[in-house]
Chains A and B, each alone.
Chain A
Amino acid sequence: MNDNKTILVADDESHILHVVSLKLRNAGYRVVTARDGQEALELAQQEKPDLLITDYHMPQLSGLELCQKLKQEVSTSDIPTIMLTARGYHLEPADTEKSGILRMLSKPFSPRHLLATVNEVLGQTIAA
């Protein structure tokens, strides 16, 4: 049922990138991956994913900078985002406004919980 949905996953930690991709692919999603913020920005512009899962702290371009850049462009401004972070970061309503971040998950995270969040966010986006 998720065959037609593409998710862009960005993380500089290869193990995390691998495990998240596998979990999502096993759930039927199409997954594209990026190792840093700049690569993620380029891929987002090319692929126009249905969802972005990004790490907060990344080389080249941080997760937050990536989201803000995507939000500024019309073609990518509507991409809903889930952010993973190993730092305590509190999501303010204003952040969602400015960056499109809908959920914040703290590392270490449960892939099961991440998948549930992905399903929920995509379900909400489709319903909206």
Chain B
Amino acid sequence: MRRVTFLSVLSLVLLAEGIGCLVVKGGVAGPSAGTDIPFYAGTVLMLLGATSAMFALVIVRNSCRRLQDRITELTSNRKLASLDAGDGQLTPLVQAVNDLIEYAEASVGDAAMKLKEIEIELKVAKARRHHAEAILYSISDAVLVTDSFDELVLANDAAARTFGFDLAAATRRPIESIITDATMVQLIHEMRQSNSTNGWRVVEHQLKGANASRTFKVTLSCVSDRADEPAGVVAVLHDMTKEKEVAEMKNDFVSNVSHELRTPLASIRAYVEMLIDGEADDEKTTREFYEVIQNEANRLGRLIDNILNISRIESGLVKINKQPQSLTVILKEAIEIISPQLKLKQISLEEQLTPVFYQMQADKDMLYQAVLNLLSNSVKYTPEGGRITVQTLVDETKRKVITRISDTGVGIPPKDLPFVFDKFYRAEANNRMAKGTGLGLSLVKHIIETVHRGRIFVESQVGKGSTFGFELYLSE
């Protein structure tokens, strides 16, 4: 740098001297013959000045070129690094550029750090979003999230299934173009317009399906943005169709059970009061009253047993006590118990039973309950003067015994046959014929199939009668 300064000053001095000489000569018209020394001296000084200026410029240009090459190299390598001062011709300039680079490096460092932080935040946010989405998709309830323009922002598979839309294509589309159910759209509109950021609204709503409508509990709430302003709506739809069906079944069950319990209780209470009031005026009537009370008390007991047993078997709490038993003995006991009802309806009963020595591993109380239920049903659905046949057949090769209880009753319509062993199921036609809880046959099925690993069956013809039967394996 000092060299360039020196050359610059020198060239300026020489140029000044040259110009001075030419001015002293009195013009720049040109040399006169032989005597014009200042003119030549001036010209020489100017040439020397110009040469030293040229020399200085070349030095500066070379330094600039080196500097440019270095910057180009750093740029092409996408690197920020201090520049070498080189031969020192451009030291202040390089120093200034290096200061700038240093500042830029610090800024880039800060920016890189901030970028890193943002990247981490983004990763965390993405992970959270995936997590939230995973939760959302794992929820069996349908979830819809809309923004302040009523456009769908988020939904889960359950929502897509419930409303029948394509999840991938539905995002960012107006909710009314996705959901065809006008009431649901209206509910979302209303919730957004309510601008309520606290609290929610719960509505029971029926969605009509292709085959049947389903009942949903719809919970609507507003989502707010950072400024606590309403920014959209979250709608959660819980399918309560099954719950409602179960509640209805429970309600029917309680109603049926209470009816069934009240009926024998009504007889017991009425006959007891009649006895207290002395309304039975002879011994025969008194005895008849006592018998009614006893029979109805037994009926009440059987009903309570049925309810408790089915509940115990279903909950797995029942204690099963299997011992070698004769089915014939059990059947005879049940027939004896049912005989007052047979007499009352003048129904004849025919027994075709195998000898008592055929035995099987069975829980006597439970098997007795099953047989009694089948017999009691036959009596219930057989008109007065009808006939019941109780038959057992032994299949020695398969080591099993088949029991058939046939009646000349009203029969069961074919459409009801597959469901007669379902809990609470009652054939509409038979419902009008006699009362029941819809529990008896369900209990029989449990006792035969769940407890004794046997098989239950039914055959029936409307107007002709029914045969209920079961197969059980004989003891080895």
Query: Which chain B residues have a beta carbon within 8 Å of chain A's beta carbons?
Result: 255, 258-259, 262-263, 265-271, 273-274, 277, 279, 292, 296, 344, 432-435
B267 contacts A112, C-beta separation under 8 Å: no
Chain A residues 78 to 128 lying within 8 A of chain B, measured CB to CB, are 86-88, 106-112
Q: Which residues of A contact B277 (CB under 8 A)?
A: 111-112
B267 x A16 contact (CB < 8 A): yes
Contact A110 B263 (CB under 8 A): no
Which of B258, B270, B273, B434 contacts A16 (CB under 8 A)? B270
CB distance from A111 to the nearest CB of B (A): 5
- The reply to whether A57 and B267 form a contact with Cβ atoms under 8 Å apart is no
Docked CA distance A31–B269 (Å):
21
Q: Which residues of A contact B259 (CB under 8 A)?
A: 57, 86-87
Which residue from A14, A15, A87, A110 sits with its C-beta under 8 Å from B258?
Answer: A87
Q: Is the CB of A15 within 8 A of B292?
A: yes
Q: How far is the CA of A107 from the CA of B270 in the complex (A)?
A: 10
Which residue of A is nearest B293, CB measured?
A15
The stretch that binds B, out of A1-9, A18-26, A46-54, A66-74, is A18-26
Instruction: Contact check, B434 vs A108: say whether CB atoms are below 8 A apart.
Output: no
Docked-complex contact A112 and B273, CB < 8 angstroms: yes
Cβ-closest chain B residue relative to A14 = B344
Give 6 nearest A-B pairs by CB, closest first: A107-B266, A86-B262, A108-B269, A108-B266, A15-B267, A19-B270
Residues from chain A with a CB closer than 8 A to the CB of B433 are 59
Please tell me if the beta carbons of B265 and A108 are within 8 angstroms of each other in the complex. Answer: yes
13 A-B contacts, Cβ less than 8 Å apart?
A13-B266, A14-B344, A15-B267, A15-B270, A15-B271, A16-B270, A19-B292, A20-B270, A57-B435, A60-B432, A108-B270, A110-B273, A111-B279
Interface string of A20-43 (1 = CB under 8 A from B): 101100100000000000000000
Known: A16-B266, A26-B279, A111-B277. 16 other contacts (CB 8 A): A12-B434, A12-B435, A15-B270, A15-B292, A15-B296, A19-B292, A23-B279, A57-B435, A60-B432, A88-B255, A88-B258, A107-B263, A109-B266, A110-B269, A110-B270, A112-B273
Whether A107 and B273, one on each chain, are in contact in the complex, defined by CB atoms closer than 8 angstroms, is no
Chain B hits for A16, CB < 8 A:
266-267, 270
Asked if residues B274 and A19 are in contact (CB atoms below 8 Å), the reply is yes
* A interface residue numbers (CB < 8 A to B): 12-16, 18-20, 22-23, 26, 57, 59-60, 86-88, 106-112
With beta carbons under 8 angstroms apart, the residue of A12, A14, A26, A109 that contacts B269 is A109
> What distance in Å separates the Cβ of A127 from its nearest Cβ neighbour in chain B?
27
On whether A111 and B270 interact (CB within 8 A), knowing A22-B279, A86-B259, the answer reads yes
Minimum Cβ distance to chain A for residue B338 (Å): 15
Report the nearest B residue to A110, measured CB to CB.
Answer: B273
User: Are B262 and A107 in touch, CB under 8 angstroms?
Assistant: yes
Check if B262 sits within 8 Å of A19, measured CB to CB. no
Query: B278: shortest Cβ distance to chain A, in Å?
Result: 10
Q: What chain B residues lie within 8 Å of A18 (beta carbons)?
A: 292
Q: Identify the closest chain B residue to A19 (Cβ).
A: B270
Once the chains are docked, how many angstroms separate the CA of A19 from the CA of B268?
Answer: 10
Write the chain A residue with the least CB distance to B278.
Answer: A26
A87 to B434, CA, bound (A): 15
A19–B288 Cα distance when bound, in Å, is: 11
Residues in B whose Cβ lies below 8 Å from that of A13: 263, 266-267
Q: Which residue of A lies closest to B269 (CB)?
A: A108
Complex: A57 Cα to B262 Cα, angstroms: 12
Nearest-neighbour CB distance to chain B for A102, whole angstroms, equals: 20
- Give complex CA distance A3, B414 in Å: 51
Q: Using CB atoms, name the residue of chain B closest to A27.
A: B279
Q: How far is the CA of A106 from the CA of B296 in the complex (A)?
A: 18
Query: Shortest CB–CB separation between residue B161 and chain A, in angstroms?
Result: 40
Q: How far is the CA of A128 from the CA of B167 in the complex (A)?
A: 73
The answer, among A60, A87, A109, for a CB contact under 8 Å with B255, is A87
Task: Check if B344 sits within 8 Å of A109, measured CB to CB.
Answer: no
Residue of A nearest to B277 (CB): A112
Q: CB distance A19 to B432 under 8 Å?
A: no
B270 touches A109 (CB 8 A): yes
| Residues of chain B contacted by A88 (CB below 8 angstroms) | 255, 258
Residue of A nearest to B260 (CB): A86
User: Separation in Å of the A63 CB from the closest CB of chain B?
Assistant: 13
* Residue contact B435 to A108, C-beta cutoff 8 Å: no
Nearest residue (CB) in B for A35 is: B384
Q: Which residue of A lies closest to B295 (CB)?
A: A15
Complex-state Cα separation, A79 to B38, whole angstroms: 159
Residue in contact with B263 in the complex, picked from A20, A22, A59, A86, CB distance below 8 Å: A86
Chain B residues near A19 (CB-CB < 8 A): 267, 270-271, 274, 292
With a cutoff of 8 Å between Cβ atoms, the chain B residues found around residue A109 in the complex are 266, 269-270
Nearest-neighbour CB distance to chain A for B259, whole angstroms, equals 4
- Which residues of A lie under 8 Å from residue B267 when comparing CB positions? 13, 15-16, 19
Q: Given the complex of chains A and B, what is the CA–CA distance between A107 and B269 in angstroms?
A: 9
A53 and B366 CA atoms in complex are apart in Å by 40
